[in-house]
Structure 1
């Protein structure tokens, strides 16, 4: 279901009320603030539409004193660079996929462990509520805004029907995040690093033979043109994080900061995630209707084998978190409890 503030009309959003938020209006005397928001998906992506609506809502709530200009599709920098871009003031707001930087953000990488999330609507609100308690530990040089996730993704292949983890041995695979990359290594696969917009290219050239992706993105990025075999199971999610440049945030008036804080919330996370989740989940039916596409479920025994094969990466994640000085058991238990409370557990 489309939410009102994400409806494609002449004005993408007509006020803070459409967001369902209640920020304190910015004072009339507040100085104008110009903000550059960079992300790396194309304008046809539902996340871009959500970002536009979010920016319009902030502008309305601030009485026009906060103006956000969005630069999509890697115009200002590669997807892998977006955290540093916000940290260094190249942009004021950026869309970060922490999984693109293996080892840098071990706490949030917990959500990349397979078989945790069943959906990414309430799951995104749970992810944000959980990570809000930990973001300052590993994203200290930016201001955390919010986090969300795409609809659970799965694995897609060009030439080989993969049904068991042993089938991954020798496969050249584009992993969606660092934890899945680690998993693939334990199974004997060779990882090929590529951002979402680059997946079709590496598959088409034979640099990779498989990739992790949610369903709707297959069509958006043309991946469906070069893949034929698709596991029908919600295996993983990849977290997405919006962060602010600290100096820019600190330069705002108290009223303007209040507006930004109201828009950096778990409620906003849910609203931003919903259209993307709907888009991704709807892609499976479209793919099934295409000739030559094999979308196949796994048996309970095969699912159990995949779960068993993932146990070493949980241990590896725990080791990374311990090395960073944190308690992995407490963090993972907290995540699972928060996801379950939102009815989003696998």
Structure 2
């Protein structure tokens, strides 16, 4: 007896062959490239769990391979364009690595703006999706975020007052912080994070500004053992960062796989990254305190006046620069401040 397959049975078999996991698309591998060390908490406590979520929720149809420390080549300032141009699928980078390209983001570079990494990251994401949509043409922003406020770390001298910065060569993370440290009398030196360990070990710089969690992952806290904190709700500075996916890579996904990405992008991801950085910051500080190998110095509220005066000057100069470029600098700064206050209150 010959049994002829029905059209329905053939269609069913075709569907099964197309996708045993429910997604009618071959496995997609997304390459994620970033500048930081493999041990950085953003990788170990956010990117790796995020990649696992993506794989699980897509039932294995999407795999994410992570390449830290510029393993795929190029320089840290090239990371954004690597994702935009399709050299890689996803990149994590600081927008301040490309000065003047994302001018609105510099509102978050202003001194004494940030509170926690969580609250400031949520503020950064809302700010960027409101004021910077055109700047992200060609990429799909998975999350816009900001790191836990940075502290001052120095090698051979301690910074216990603003005067102690005078003449020190200090690594700064952004154009704004270069200006700010210069106003305090330091010799501001701009360089990407991967260059910091060699620079501090060789004495090219006397110190740096970074969160503890980043400095610990870089391995520089064994050299820069003097640490300066600022009392109060606002920290010294932060920087806006992005996790972006190449738009063509996103567009090539099936609708089901796009939904997996959509479900793991947005404000809640910025919040998760901020939380991971805050928790890592606490652990890094506790480890230094327990080791007894570093000295902690605290700038009290009643000693902040010279620091804040320089901050006001730096921010006023930035606002004037933005105005000369056709932006409303005051509006952008006020909006950044409002959003940080909003999410700080919301996350208490």
Query: Do the structures match in fold with TM over 0.5?
Result: yes
| Residue in structure 1 matched with residue 275 of structure 2 by the alignment | 274
Mapped partners of 2:137, 2:345: distance in 1: 28
| Residue in structure 2 matched with residue 64 of structure 1 by the alignment | 60
| Residue in structure 2 matched with residue 106 of structure 1 by the alignment | 103
Is the 8 Å Cα contact of residues 112 and 311 (structure 2) preserved in structure 1? no
Match of 1:37 among 29, 32, 35: 32
Structure 2 spans left out of the alignment, 5+ residues? 1-20
Mapped partners of 1:295, 1:287: distance in 2: 9
Match of 1:123 among 120, 123, 134: 120
Is the 8 Å Cα contact of residues 23 and 256 (structure 2) preserved in structure 1? no
Is the 8 Å Cα contact of residues 27 and 255 (structure 1) preserved in structure 2? no
Mapped partners of 1:158, 1:334: distance in 2: 37
Matching of residue 226 in structure 1 with residue 223 in structure 2? yes
Mapped partners of 1:322, 1:145: distance in 2: 30
Is the 8 Å Cα contact of residues 40 and 72 (structure 1) preserved in structure 2? yes
SS at match of 1:107: helix
User: How big is each residue's C-alpha offset from its partner over 1:114-148, in whole Å with a ceiling of 9 and x where there is no partner?
Assistant: 11222112332222122211232333342222122
Cα RMSD for the two superposed structures: 2.3
Mapped partners of 2:87, 2:131: distance in 1: 25
Structure 1 spans left out of the alignment, 5+ residues? 1-25
| Residue in structure 2 matched with residue 52 of structure 1 by the alignment | 48
Mapped partners of 1:91, 1:202: distance in 2: 29
1:278-297 equivalent positions in 2, closer than 5 A:
278-291=279-292, 293-297=294-298
| Residue in structure 2 matched with residue 235 of structure 1 by the alignment | 236
Mapped partners of 2:211, 2:316: distance in 1: 25
How far is the alpha carbon of 1:179 from its aligned partner? 1.6
Query: Paired residues, what number?
Result: 321
| Residue in structure 2 matched with residue 328 of structure 1 by the alignment | 329
Using structure 1 for the length normalisation, give the TM-score.
Answer: 0.85
Mapped partners of 2:260, 2:207: distance in 1: 43
Q: Name the CA shift for 1:230/1:143 in 2 (closer, same or farther; >3 Å).
A: same
Mapped partners of 1:30, 1:170: distance in 2: 59
Larger radius of gyration: 2
Higher share in helix: 2
Q: Name the CA shift for 1:140/1:166 in 2 (closer, same or farther; >3 Å).
A: farther
SS at match of 2:103: coil
How far is the alpha carbon of 1:31 from its aligned partner? 4.4
1:296-307 equivalent positions in 2, closer than 5 A:
296-307=297-308
Q: Name the CA shift for 1:327/1:29 in 2 (closer, same or farther; >3 Å).
A: same
